[in-house]
Structure 1
Amino acid sequence: MSSERPSQNQPAHGLSVQSAVQPGAQNGETEIDLLELLNVLLSNLRWIIAAVLIGALGAFFYTQYFVVPMYRSTGNLYVVSSQDSIINLSDFQVGNYLASDYEKVVYTWEVLEQTKENLSLPYTQEQMRRMISINNPQNTRILEITVQSRSPREAALIANELMLVVSKYVVDVMETEQPNILSEAQIPLERFSPSKTRNTMLGA
Structure 2
Amino acid sequence: MRNDHKISFRDYYIKILSKVWVILTMGIIGTLGSYYVTMNFVEPTYEATVTLYNGNKTTGYSQLNKEEELINSELMDDYIELLKSGQVQEEIIQRSEYNLTDSSLEKNLDIVVMHGTRFIYLKFKHKNPEYSMRIVNQLSNSWIKKAEEIMGVDNLQILQYAKSPIDPITPVLRQNVIQTTVLFVLIGFVWVSCRVNNTKKISSEKAIVEEAGLVVLGTVTNMKEKKRHIRI
Question: What is the TM-score of this pair, normalised by structure 1?
Answer: 0.81
**Residues 94-103 or 44-53, more deviating:** 94-103
Equivalent residue letter for 2:120: L
Residue 170 (structure 1) aligns with: 147
- Whether contact under 8 Å (2:98, 2:131) holds in the other structure is no
Identity %: 21
Q: 1:135 aligns with which of 93, 100, 112?
A: 112
- Aligned CA distance change for structure 1 residues 115 and 160 (closer, same or farther; 3 Å): same
Q: Determine if contact 1:103/1:143 at 8 Å carries over to the other structure.
A: no
Alignment check: 8 A CA contact 2:57 2:155 kept: no
Task: Determine the structure 2 residue equivalent to 1:49.
Answer: 24
Give the TM-score of the pair, scaled to structure 2: 0.72
- Residue 118 of structure 1 deviates from its aligned partner by 5.5
Matches within 5 A, 1:1-204: 25=1, 27-81=2-56, 84-85=59-60, 86-117=63-94, 120-204=97-181
8 A contact 1:96–1:140 mirrored in 2: no
How many residues are matched? 179
Q: Give 1:178 deviation, angstroms.
A: 4.5
Letter in 2 for 1:80: G
Provide the rounded CA distance (Å) in 1 between the counterparts of 2:170 and 2:160. Answer: 23
C-alpha change, 1:88 and 1:120, in structure 2 (3 Å) is farther
Letter paired with 1:121: Y
Q: Output the CA distance in 2 between the equivalents of 1:98 and 1:139.
A: 14
Identify unmatched segments of 5+ residues in structure 2. Answer: 182-232
Alpha-carbon RMSD across the aligned residues, in angstroms, is 1.8
1:52–1:120 CA distance, 2 compared to 1 (3 A): closer
Alpha-carbon contact 1:131-1:147 (below 8 Å) kept: yes
What SS does the corresponding residue of 2:42 show, helix, strand or coil?
coil
The answer (yes or no) to whether the contact 1:147–1:158 under 8 Å persists in 2 is yes
Residue identity matched to 1:75: V
Structure (1 or 2) with the greater strand fraction: 2
Q: What is the DSSP-based 3-state SS (H/G/I as helix, E as strand, rest coil) of the residue aligned with 1:190?
A: coil
Shift of 1:121: 2.6
Deviation at residue 82 of structure 1 after TM alignment: 7.6
How many Å separate the matches in 1 of 2:53 and 2:87? Answer: 21
Q: Secondary structure at the match of 1:188?
A: coil
Is the partner of 1:168 in helix, strand or coil?
helix
Farther-moved stretch of structure 1 (127-136 vs 98-107): 98-107
